[in-house]
Structure formats: structure tokens, C-alpha cells
Amino acid sequence: VIRPALAFALLLLAAVPAAAQDLLLTNARLVDPHTRTVRTGALLLRGDTIAAVLDAPPVGYDGEVLDAGGRWVLPGLLDLHVHSYGNLSPWGVESLGTEAAARRMLYAGVTGFLDLFADEEVIFALRDRQRTGGLLAADVHAAGPLLTAPGGYGTQMGLPTRTVATPDEARRVVADLARRHPDVVKFAYLPSEPGVVSMDRTTMEALVRATDSLGLRTVAHVASWEGVRDVARAGVTALTHLPLTPLPADVAALLRAHGTAVIPALAGEFGRTDLATPPWRDAPLLAAVASPAVLAAYAAPDTSPDTLGTAPGGALQVRRAHRAAVLAAVRTLHEAGVPILAGTDAGVMGTIQGFSLHHELALLVEAGLSPWDALAAATTGAGAFLGERVGLRPGDRASLLVLDASPVDSIRHTQAVAFVVYRGRVVDRARLLGDGAADAGLPLGQALVDSFASDSLRSALGTTWRVYRDEAVGGASTADVRVSGGTLHVEAAIRPGPGGFGFVELALPLDAAEAPRDVSAFDGVRVRLRVLRGSLALKLRTAEVTNHDHPAVLVGPSDAVQELTLPFAAFGPLWSPPVPWTGRRVLGIALSVGGAAAEEVAYEIEELAFYRDEAP
Ligand SMILES: [Zn+2]
């Protein structure tokens, strides 16, 4: 039986032979979050859009056909809160780069994401490259930098922010940023956090008005109910995170009245414990997208302060109270008609790029949303937020997730990925899990890594030094990092958390997109430096090492600046068996200090370069 609405599409098909790029997906159970129905039918995909939704294959169609075998077909999932640099595990930072992270997301059925804070030079370039067709990975949408107060939240993370202190400055910064076409403008507003510097309310309101007047959406990072009320009244498009205390009686109606959407990011808030616990710990999709070192880190006994305190009134009990409060708030907001959107905060402790969206959906259902509501939060709702056509209607984008089991029966079934369709084509998922070997093989055309000539953390390679600290693993180490007079000065106070390691690490990617680079044409690293106090590990981060134990050389104190010529053979692991050095998959250079004890470390570097032995 052909429904009247479909007759026109069918007639067209009968009259016009299949176009070269057509794909007909037949025998599918179509899971449509718009109509909240599941019905058996077929989808005709033409280019990157859905051309027709059919009850049965059209007569006379002679293009490519894919039998879905009665599987469940839904729009590809969207994650609206991502930091796509990689993963943070209890053992440290796994820097994948946005491109590899986006491939892992696509493998997991997350066909698009919104990065909410990254190095703007890197993320906008990658996004624009993808939009011109150069990247098989989840669609990249990006905020670029975080807007925050000078010295405020986010300025400590080793990523370039844009700071605003006054309403005038907010207008100027927004106008300047708008030239790069951010998909949203993200800012931090933390007016009542003890010890945290925040922009004031007037500045925040000017920022939102300026963004709004340019037709751009805003996402506010908040942490208190006062912050939630202020940003809603100011007219933000969405806020992300929810305070960890019970929802005050007035807030649901206030958000509803202002049309404010909420991206609660539950996976980032509660993933640390869940990833270490069945059923999440044992999920096959987790094992597929997370690297062995990251899995091992979560499987190791949890010594974080959050879970050590098992006494009544201890940290664990407080954590459970937070979880109950936040899930109850999500439910109340949803029932009041506040749009709840799916985002994970992927990149923070407790998240895995690609996997955590499935965790988020389950947490939304745990909070009290129906599976349909949760699916809408990651598909049609998220698409509406981004201004994208997401759904199973003609004209919607042809990025689809095909499942072996019904996500309406159990939201956990979103993990049962049979295959993924991206922009109208079935994706070779196995290839996506490779680490981007296709991008390597580019010889590094330049021996000089950095001579700190620019008086900034921008290197001679055009990439930027990032400062990583141990905050996320319970440490309180601090660092003063300056570049002046052609020298990088670092003074670090290492303060490990209970039972953990303290560290301060400066890491420089060799490639702006953080792809591995081939440095096998060189013979080693030459460095002019002086360690004043403690010991410095100079590391070569390679994609061939997956346990964070990258080849390193330890340098101790000296009375004067020394020039060290370090052949690659001098670099070795600090605690694990050596991995053979090829030099073909090098991600970057890192300067790492720290350990299990509190200490003060200081060092200065004047120049870092790869070198080649002269021919004899
Ligand atoms: Zn975040």
C-alpha cells in the first residue's frame, strides 16, 4: 500500500533511473524520532540526503540496494558537548587529535558532534577541510575557544581561550570570533563559585546580546543555580552542566519561559565510576573504541578521592547524592517542557570519545526520559539545535545508524551497531579504528621545532604548546609557564593527589591536526636547555606507544645552559618494555615533570630541533 504522501516520490522514481550515487536501503525497521513510530520500509538515499521514504522498494529501481535484514534504522547520533582532543583516563592524557576522535565517533554511530572548547586554529581548519569534503569522520561542529574572564575558568587548561572583562570587550571579542563562523559561542559563567574568577553578569549579558544579534547560538558553562537563572534570563540558547544540588522550585518554569535548552552532560559527571563497573566496563563497543591503556586505567582499582571515602557522609555517599539530585533535576526539567539535549563532555575524566554518547542516552533514560525522548535528544532535538536536517524524512541528511536490536525496547541497544551510513554511503567501520596511518608518511619538512622566538606558546611549527596538569587525577600541581627573550621558562610545584602521581606536562603536536608525522629522515633531537631544579623527562610521543609510556630521556640539573644531542636510540620507556622505534608515527614532543612526591621543578629551554647526522 502506497500512502498518498509517498506517491509523488514513487512516480519520480518510476520515471527516472537511479542516479549513480543512489543507495536503496530495504527491509528496514525505520525508527523515526519525529513520529515516534517504528515501521518497516525502505529509504532511498541520494547523495548526502534522504530522497524518499517508502513502504516497499519501488518497481523498476536499478540502482544499488542494501538489504537491512529487518534491522533498526535511525538517524545518526549527535553529541553536543565534546572536547575532541582525545581521552583523559585515570592514568593520564591520551591525545588522539580531533580527526582520530571523529573517526572513532563515526565507528560508534555518532555521525556528528559539537566541540565546545578546542584550539580554534586547529578545530576551525579541520572543520572547514571536512566541509569541503576531505575527511571521513563524524561531522565536526565547533565553538572554537572558550570565552571566559581573564584568569577565569578554562584559562588553566593549556588551550588558548578568549578573555573578556567588560561589556565592550565582550562585544569586540564576539565580533572578531564571528569572522571564523563558530557553530556556537561557548562561554563560562561562574558567578558564585568560591575562588573562581568569572565575568560579571553585565558582561555576560552583553556577550549573549552580541552573539544573538549576529545570528549565532550560545552555550553557557554553568555550575550554580544563580548562574543558571542569570544565563536563562540573558537569553542563552543552551546551558551545559547542572549544579549538583536539588533543583530549586522556580528554575524549570524559568527555563521553559525563556526557551533555554539544557545539555546536562551526565556521562562526564558520572562516567568515572560507571566505566569501572558492569555492565559499562564490559561493553563490547567500549572495548572497540577505547585503547588498551585507557581501558586498563579504568579497570585498575579506583584510588580517586571521590570513591575512597566510603564512610557514612564520606565522598562516595556525597557522590551518590549528587547523582540522585542531577537525575531528578533532568526529569523535572524534561517534564516541564525544557528541551533536554544529548552531550557528554567527552574528553573529561569518565568519558570515551564515541562511546560515551551511548552512556549518556542510558543516563537520560535512568533519569526518567523515555527511550524515544532520549533518542530525540541525540537526533532530532540535537539537529534542531544545530540547524541541521536530522530525521528520517525526505530532505534529511543521509547519515544513519543501523542496529541489531530495537533502541525503543532498550536504550542500551544503541550500542548494537550493525553498520553506519555516512552522507549516503555505508562506512567501512574497521578502517575507522586505524590510527590514521594514511595521514602519516609526510616527512617533516622542517628540523626546527621551536626556538621560542615569538614570545608565545605558538611554536616554530605553527602548533601550540599545551600545558597539562594533574587536576583531573586529584592532584594540585601548579606551573608558571612563560616565554620571554627567546627562552621557555617553566617553574612547577608538583603536588600529587592521594595515592596518585603529580605532573605538569607541556606537549607540542607536530601537526596542526594532531596527525602522526614521519621524522625517520632525522637521527635524533638536539636541545639547548638548563634544568635548574628536579628532573625533566623529554618525551617523543608516538602513535606506536599506547600505554602513555612514551620514549623519554631524563635530564637533571646543570649549572649552565647545555646543548644535548640525543639520538633517537637514547630515548626509552620509563616503566614498560621498549617498543621498537620507527620514527614514522610521531605525534609530538612533551616536556614532563612530576612523580609520586611533592617537589619543586624548574627548567628553561632555548631551542628544540630534530637533527640529521652529517654524511661521513
Ligand atoms: Zn566541557
| Comparison of pLDDT for 472 and 56, the residue scoring more | 56
Query: N- to C-terminal Cα distance for the chain?
Result: 82
Give the number of C-alpha atoms closer than 13 A to the C-alpha of residue 471, restricted to the C-beta side.
10
Peptide bond into 616 cis (omega under 30): no
In angstroms, the CA 338 to CA 614 distance is 67
**Is the pLDDT confidence value at 436 over 90?**
no
Lowest mean pLDDT among 414-428, 456-470, 591-605: 456-470
- Predicted TM-score (pTM) of this structure: 0.76
Alpha-carbon span 146 to 148, nearest angstrom? 6
Distance of CA 388 from the midpoint of ligand 1 (Å): 22
pLDDT for res 189:
98
CA–centroid distance, residue 452 to ligand 1 (Å): 30
| Residue 213 pLDDT > 60 | yes
Taking a 5 Å cut-off on Cβ, the residues next to ion ligand 1 are 345
Q: 14 pLDDT exceeds 80?
A: no
Model pLDDT, residue 220? 98
Ligand 1 centroid to Cα of residue 501, in Å, is 24
Question: pLDDT band at 20, cuts 50/70/90?
Answer: low
Ligand 1 centroid – CA 488 distance (Å): 29
- Give the burial class of 132: count Cβ atoms within 10 A of its Cβ; 0-12 exposed, 13-18 middle, 19 or more buried: exposed
Burial of 126 (0-12, 13-18, 19+ CB in 10 A): buried
Looking at the chain, the whole-number percentage of residues with pLDDT higher than 90 is 63
From ligand 1's centre to the CA of 408, what distance in Å?
28
- Show the DSSP H helices in 189-291 as ranges: 201-213, 225-234, 251-258, 266-274, 284-289
CB 326 within 8 A of CB 266: yes
As a 3-state breakdown, the chain gives helix, strand, coil percent values, each rounded to 5, of: 30, 30, 45
Number of H helices, E strands in the chain: 16, 30
pLDDT value, residue 255:
98
pLDDT tens profile 98-149 = 999 999 999 999 999 999 999 998 999 999 988 887 788 999 999 999 999 9
> How confident is the model over 6-35, as a mean pLDDT?
71
> Own/partner pairs for 289-293, CB < 8 Å, 24+ apart?
289/104, 289/107, 289/108, 289/352, 289/353, 289/354, 289/355, 289/433, 290/87, 290/352, 290/355, 291/87, 291/94, 291/546, 292/546, 292/547, 293/89, 293/91, 293/94, 293/546, 293/547, 293/548
- Amino acid 446: pLDDT: 60
Tell me if residue 105 falls in helix, strand or coil.
helix
Q: What is the CA(189)–ligand 1 centre distance, in A?
A: 13
Highest mean pLDDT pick, 18-27, 346-355, 593-602: 346-355
Q: What are phi and psi of 82, to 5 degrees?
A: -135, 145
- Whether the pLDDT of residue 616 is over 50: the answer is no
Compute the distance from residue 405 Cα to the ligand 1 centre, in Å: 31
Which residue is associated with the grid cell 604548546?
Answer: 465
- 115 Cα: distance to centroid of ligand 1 (angstroms): 9
| Residue 155 alpha carbon to ligand 1 centre in Å | 13
225-246: average pLDDT: 97
Distance of CA 117 to the CA centre of its chain: 9
Distance 82 CA to ligand 1 centre (A): 6
**pLDDT band per the 50, 70, 90 thresholds, residue 439:** very low
CA–centroid distance, 142 to ligand 1, in Å, is 12
Burial grade of 578 (CB within 10 A; 0-12, 13-18, 19 or more):
exposed
Give residue for cell 580527526. 99
* 319 Cα to the center of ligand 1, angstroms: 19
Q: How far is the CA of 32 from the centre of ligand 1 (A)?
A: 29
Residue 225 to residue 516: CA distance in whole angstroms: 43
d(CA 345, ligand 1 centre) in Å:
5
**pLDDT tens per residue across span 331-384:** 999 999 999 999 999 999 999 999 999 999 999 999 999 999 999 999 999 999
CA of 321 to the centre of ligand 1 (A): 22
What rounded mean pLDDT belongs to the chain? 89
CA of 215 to the centre of ligand 1 (A): 23
Rounded to the nearest angstrom, the distance between the alpha carbon of 380 and the centre of ligand 1 is: 22
Ligand 1 centre distance from Cα of residue 265 (Å): 8
**Section 447-472 average pLDDT:** 83
- Cα(343) to ligand 1 centroid in Å equals 9
Structure confidence at residue 455 as a pLDDT band (50, 70, 90): confident
Cell (9 digits) for 131: 566541509
Q: Residue 238: beta bridge partners?
A: 219, 261
Give the sign of the dihedral formed by CA 266, CA 429, CA 417, CA 64: positive
pLDDT at residue number 140: 97
